[in-house]
Homo-oligomer: A and B are copies of this chain.
Amino acid sequence: MIDPLDDAALDRVFRTARTYNGYTDEPVTEAELRQIYDLMKWGPTSANQSPLRIVWCTSDEAKQKLAAACSAQNAPKVLKAPVTAILGMDMEFYEKLPRLFPHADARAWFVGNDGLIKESAFRNSTLQGAYLIIAARLLGLDTGAMSGFDAAKVDESFFAGTTVKTNFIATLGHGDPASIFDRLPRLDFEEATSVA
């Protein structure tokens, strides 16, 4: 027997939630960004790796710098959105594991193992990116995740001299219903899954 949350919650998180291309003029405050982070941070990552590093682009200067690295289709979305989050991954996330996962020498699993580092940083920062989308929705905000940009250019503009690499970006705000199209279809249960 399961005990689902009510329809309002299921609708807001998944069933009626949409990816927005544009937002109303209502701002997103730093207090709200903190609320998003204080929810999403609890989402699980492998061995609590928590590799995600976020730059919240809120100033015109940051938005212009980011838009300059985006595809022609995505640049105007970044310029107009109240906030765009750059979702980066710290390729030296394992240096924090003695604190984040103290009951084993988890740092030693990664040092010198480039393949495992890359795969782990990518998978776990992506999970955390999904948690950001969900946390925003739980709070009543909307998002527009995008991967159409020049990652090397974003790295250079925002993460030069650090161990962080860009994974994807997501606009944030109060979604403008006029900015979206009809919902696209999804694969059905039988097509995407099987019971073994």
Q: Could you list which residues of chain A lie within 8 angstroms of chain B, going by C-beta atoms?
A: 1-5, 8-10, 12-15, 17, 19, 26, 30, 32-35, 37-44, 46, 48, 50, 52-59, 61-62, 96, 99-103, 120, 122-123, 126-127, 129-131, 133-135, 138-141, 143, 145-147, 158, 167-168, 181, 184-187, 189, 192-196
Contact = CB atoms under 8 A, between A and B. Distances in A.
B58 A195 contact: yes
Nearest to A127: B130
A32 B2 contact: yes
Contacts of A5: 8-9, 12, 138-140
A93 B187 CA distance: 11
Contacts of A196: 55-59, 61-62, 158
Contacts of A100: 184-187
Q: How many copies altogether?
A: 2
Residue of A39, A42, A139 most packed against chain B (CB within 10 A)? A42
Contact of A2 (B96, B139, B186): B139
A196 B84 CA distance: 10
Residue of A43, A54, A99, A181 most packed against chain B (CB within 10 A)? A43
A141 B2 contact: yes
A30 B185 contact: no
A193 B15 contact: no
A130 to B, nearest CB: 3
A130 B134 CA distance: 9
B2 A193 contact: no
A44 B19 CA distance: 7
